[in-house]
Amino acid sequence: MSALRGSDWLTPAALVALSVVPVVAGVFRLVQLGAGVEITNDNARFFAAPIPVVIHIVSSVIFCLLGAFQFSGTLRRLRSGWHRKAGRVLVPSGIASALSGLWMTQFYPTSEFDGGGFLYAIRLLAGSSMAVFLVLSIIAVHRRDVPSHQAWMMRSYALGLAAGTQVFTHLPWFMFPSIHGELARTLSMAAGWAINLVVAEWFISRRLQPAQTVIAAGRDAHA
């Protein structure tokens, strides 16, 4: 890791930092489940069916932290096979995170802070999109379409990392209790997914689309 250039570790470091709060919150939830703390209205659903939330937390932690280092080009060059080996862990972890999140959305009883029908629909859309993007990334890499593979992985990672961004989009919620309600909760959650997807699309347009153009031109030349 010491051989990484300064400019090359900034993105992984920023992504790891963005993951810290949800990772700590997830670990705390696991500790609660293991220690058998007092059951309240807020955590009763997790104690009633702990396996989905355990799968979701563990897979999400792996996906977010390990995925951050996939953005280091130098690491991939220094560690032969790193990217492929890490990808074999990342994709199943991401799919497990997305599917367990969908299960919890569908079957866990809602709490007073879960919002209403709009947030329910957005959660289903985000989880389903994350799983679909990962499947599309697998299809692309089997076709040796590396730029498309990278683009779909970035989109899925953006959705998976939204819990970190939602810490910031919830700041008005924490600062102004008077706004608490279904609309504010829905907007705070949706903003996290939306911001991450916008950033991912910007990154893809700046870094990957030129490569896709070169590949397409090469295919046309050999047609």
Which pLDDT does position 90 carry in this prediction?
96
Mean pLDDT value across the chain: 88
Evaluate whether 63 touches 97 at the Cβ level (below 8 Å).
yes
How do residues 20-51 score in pLDDT, each as one tens digit? 999 999 999 999 999 878 888 888 899 999 99
Tell me what percent of the residues of the chain surpass a pLDDT of 70.
87
- To 5 degrees, how large is the angle CA 67–CA 73–CA 76? 75
CA distance readout (Å), 218 to 7, 27, 126, 143, 154:
31, 48, 35, 16, 24
Please say if the pLDDT value at position 218 is more than 80.
no
Asked if residue 20 belongs to a domain, the reply is yes
Which pLDDT does position 212 carry in this prediction?
52
Which pLDDT does position 72 carry in this prediction?
83
Please say if the pLDDT value at position 217 is more than 80.
no
Asked if residue 79 belongs to a domain, the reply is yes
Which pLDDT does position 126 carry in this prediction?
98
Asked if residue 146 belongs to a domain, the reply is yes
116 Cβ contact partners less than 8 Å away, ≥ 6 residues apart: 182, 186
Asked if residue 1 belongs to a domain, the reply is no
Which pLDDT does position 121 carry in this prediction?
94
How do residues 85-135 score in pLDDT, each as one tens digit? 999 999 999 999 999 999 999 999 877 667 678 999 999 999 999 999 999
Asked if residue 170 belongs to a domain, the reply is yes
Asked if residue 124 belongs to a domain, the reply is yes
Instruction: For residues 82 and 169, give the distance between their C-alpha atoms in angstroms, rounded to a whole number.
Output: 34
Q: How far is CA 134 from the centre of its chain?
A: 11
Which pLDDT does position 78 carry in this prediction?
73
For residues 27-59, b (16+ Cβ closer than 10 Å) or e, as one string? eebbebbeeeeeeeeebebbeeeeebbbbbbbb
Q: At what angle do helices 162-169 and 6-35 cross, to 10 degrees?
A: 80
Q: At what angle do helices 146-160 and 82-107 cross, to 10 degrees?
A: 40
Please say if the pLDDT value at position 220 is more than 70.
no
Please say if the pLDDT value at position 221 is more than 70.
no
Which pLDDT does position 37 carry in this prediction?
85
Which pLDDT does position 40 carry in this prediction?
85
Give me the domain span that covers residue 118: 6-221
Evaluate whether 193 touches 162 at the Cβ level (below 8 Å).
yes
75 Cβ contact partners less than 8 Å away, ≥ 6 residues apart: 1, 4, 8, 12, 69, 82
Evaluate whether 48 touches 40 at the Cβ level (below 8 Å).
no
Residue found under tokens 């030129």: 210
Q: How confident is the model at residue 141 (pLDDT cuts 50, 70, 90)?
A: very high
133 Cβ contact partners less than 8 Å away, ≥ 6 residues apart: 152, 153, 155, 156, 159
Top pLDDT among 148 and 5 is at 148
Instruction: Spell out the alpha helix ranges (H) of the chain.
Output: 6-35, 44-48, 50-68, 73-78, 82-107, 117-142, 146-160, 162-169, 171-175, 182-207, 209-221
Which pLDDT does position 209 carry in this prediction?
61
Domain count, the chain: 1
Please say if the pLDDT value at position 214 is more than 50.
no
Asked if residue 64 belongs to a domain, the reply is yes
Least confident of 48-52, 78-82, 197-201: 78-82
Asked if residue 30 belongs to a domain, the reply is yes
